[in-house]
Amino acid sequence: MFRYILRRIFQAIPTIFGITLLSYLLITAAPGGPVGALGVDPKLTPEKRRILEAQLGVNDPWPVQYLKWLVGDDWLLVDKNGDGEKDGYGNRRGVLRGDFGNSFSGRRPVIDMIAERTSATLELGITSLVVGSILGVIVGILAAVNRGGWFDNLSRVFAVITKSIPIFWLGLMLILIFGATLHVLPMGGRCPRTTGDCPSLLNRTNYILLPALVLSAGAVSVLSRYMRASMLDVIHQEYVRTARAKGLRQRRVWFTHAARNALIPIATLMGPSITGILGGAVITETIFSWPGLGRLTFQAVLQQDYPLVMAGVLIAALGTLGGFILSDILYALVDPRIRFN
């Protein structure tokens, strides 16, 4: 297992480089550029514009910019004044040496801005993943054992609805119903603005309830349908009938004997589920004003903040590849017959 995981990590390295290269190409191809997105003086002269572009490091062709982002520019002369003369050394060490650079809009180290938002995204993402996985598995089991009943039909309708409607529309409708109309849940934010530091999660569950529900809705619908199909195949096998013949309770047969083998296909979906959580966090955090990495990345895209956008892309790529490796590990843990040699 360890050798397999190590091999997968080495295989993921070219994928990471390909993702970052393509992402940098796309963001630099967007019209306007960082100088225009920062909303500077529209009467800015071409000379001062060149100076500002040189200070931001975006006056070079995109392959050169990508190389500087990757390995830094402290080893070569750069044009700091925008006059076409390379008159000084750079001051960036590059991502490969742990330097994500400074944000164009915030004028702060990117790594510091990410560190401030990571806890909020982990809090929302882990909560959504746990809630989505548990509810999806339970709903799938109950739908299978009550095949053709009202709960089975209701879960099917729920899965179709949640996969059909956009996530931003669902979030806005929940805000309108539970926040603006019923006034039972806050309409956004992570914690009360009147307090300094956020209290513990147990003391502010009302703030995470709606974002976690929206972010986990897709996982519940997908996992429940896969779990139902897998469970229907398992409950008709010989060992399940033997367990019933021994007089075991139905719940024990479903959740102990049948569910373990039915979870094998579900393990392969954990990787895509993590990817969906990361992608949905950008929209969910923006709608609910959740101060996490998703909202920070969305704002960085609007401002064409290259260092901040690329940091978000790199984190998402690492999370996605890590999720698929986790799926392989869970697959082996759920089914002892599987060995990776």
Tens-digit pLDDT profile for residues 153-197 = 999 999 999 888 888 999 999 999 998 999 899 988 888 876 567
**Residue 56 included in any domain:** yes
Q: How far apart are the first and last CA of the chain?
A: 7
Q: Are both 71 and 180 inside the same structural domain?
A: no
Q: Are both 168 and 233 inside the same structural domain?
A: yes
- Measured between alpha carbons, how far is 186 from 220 in angstroms, rounded to an integer? 23
- Measured between alpha carbons, how far is 244 from 254 in angstroms, rounded to an integer? 10
- Measured between alpha carbons, how far is 234 from 236 in angstroms, rounded to an integer? 5
pLDDT tens, the chain, 341 aa long:
778 788 888 888 999 999 999 999 999 888 878 887 777 667 777 777 787 887 788 888 889 889 989 988 877 766 666 666 666 666 778 899 888 988 988 889 999 999 999 999 999 999 999 999 999 999 999 999 889 899 999 999 999 998 888 889 999 999 999 989 998 999 888 888 765 678 888 888 899 999 999 999 988 999 999 999 999 988 888 888 888 888 888 888 888 888 888 887 787 787 778 888 888 889 999 999 999 999 999 999 988 899 999 999 999 999 888 888 888 777 777 776 666 65
**Residue 284 included in any domain:** yes
Q: Are both 53 and 138 inside the same structural domain?
A: no
Q: In sequence order, what E strands does the chain have?
A: 77-78, 88-89
**Residue 37 included in any domain:** yes
- Measured between alpha carbons, how far is 198 from 120 in angstroms, rounded to an integer? 10
HSE-up of residue 65 (Cα within 13 Å, Cβ side):
23
Q: Which domain holds residue 92?
A: 19-97
Residue with tokens 């002269």: 45
Q: Are both 119 and 220 inside the same structural domain?
A: yes
**Residue 102 included in any domain:** no
Answer left, alpha or beta for residue 39, where phi above 0 means left and psi between -120 and 50 means alpha.
left
Q: Are both 197 and 230 inside the same structural domain?
A: yes
How many folded domains does the chain comprise? 2
Q: Per-residue pLDDT tens for 10-43?
A: 888 999 999 999 999 999 888 878 887 777 667 7
Size of the chain, expressed as the number of residues it contains: 341
**Residue 10 included in any domain:** no
**Residue 12 included in any domain:** no
- Measured between alpha carbons, how far is 16 from 324 in angstroms, rounded to an integer? 14
**Residue 304 included in any domain:** yes
Q: Are both 93 and 121 inside the same structural domain?
A: no
- Measured between alpha carbons, how far is 152 from 224 in angstroms, rounded to an integer? 10
Q: Are both 276 and 237 inside the same structural domain?
A: yes
**Residue 206 included in any domain:** yes
